[in-house]
Amino acid sequence: MGSRPLADTYGGYRARLVETLRAKGIRDLAVLRAFGEIPRHLFIPEALVRRAYDDTSLPIGNQQTISAPSTQARYLEALALNGTERVLEIGTGSGYQAALLTYLCRRVVTVERIAVLASGARTALERAGIDGVLVVTGDGSIGYRSDAPYEGIVVAAAGPEVPEPLLEQLAEGGRLVMPLERGGGQALVRITRAGDSLREETLGNAQFVPLIGRHGHTGEPS
């Protein structure tokens, strides 16, 4: 999962996005580099390509959205990755965040409940020249046991509490980042495992689509 030169005309836009993220307080150099390398325009609908490198969330179909880059950057920074980790992402969506993760850790597994989004993400990852990401179609609220434990878990959808299976699949010293519903809004929370105890920190406000599944909200199956 190394870097590869991209023959496209968006390099300047990516550089500007990196400057925007820096100005918004993102300091992790590996995170900034990932945003400078990954072609976000390949992960969003054709009609929105003009806005691909704006720091804004965009619709990706099926009532789902790709988060604003600064939101994702904050998430990725909170995971504090050093390149050696196995990371589980819940909520593949477009596949963009999974692509960013390939620059930040050793192994990426991502789970998406909506089959057309999962297959769209696989296609986009392939077009971006990124291999090695395992995209699983299914309910991520139960995690993905086959590759557990994970040193990093990132949940890109909000629920009332952290699904128990995800805590079970979090490795010693591992970090889990997820938006939780609190007091009418959402708070971004980081949980760090130390033996049998879990340390919880609140990192700020969040605004995410609901986590739908066995350990999330109930919803229409798609």
Catalytic residue ranges: 67
The answer to whether 205 and 64 are in contact (CB under 8 A) is no
Instruction: Report the candidate in 41, 59, 42 with the shortest Cα–Cα distance to residue 50.
Output: 41
Q: Which residues lie near ligand SAH (CB under 6 A)?
A: 64-67, 90-91, 93-94, 96-97, 111-114, 117, 139-141, 156-157, 209, 211-213, 216
Residue with smaller CB distance to ligand SAH, 185 or 197 = 185
Q: What is the DSSP string of 138-153?
A: S-GGG--GGG--EEEE
DSSP 212: B
Shortest Cβ distance from residue 216 to ligand SAH (Å)?
5
Residue with smaller CB distance to ligand SAH, 18 or 178 = 178
Q: What is the dihedral of CA 183, 188, 197, 85, to 10 degrees?
A: 160
Residue with smaller CB distance to ligand SAH, 188 or 212 = 212
Residue with smaller CB distance to ligand SAH, 133 or 191 = 133
Shortest Cβ distance from residue 144 to ligand SAH (Å)?
10
The answer to whether 32 and 26 are in contact (CB under 8 A) is yes
Instruction: Report the candidate in 34, 156, 187 with the shortest Cα–Cα distance to residue 88.
Output: 156
> 150 is written with which tokens?
């994970």
Shortest Cβ distance from residue 10 to ligand SAH (Å)?
17
Shortest Cβ distance from residue 83 to ligand SAH (Å)?
20
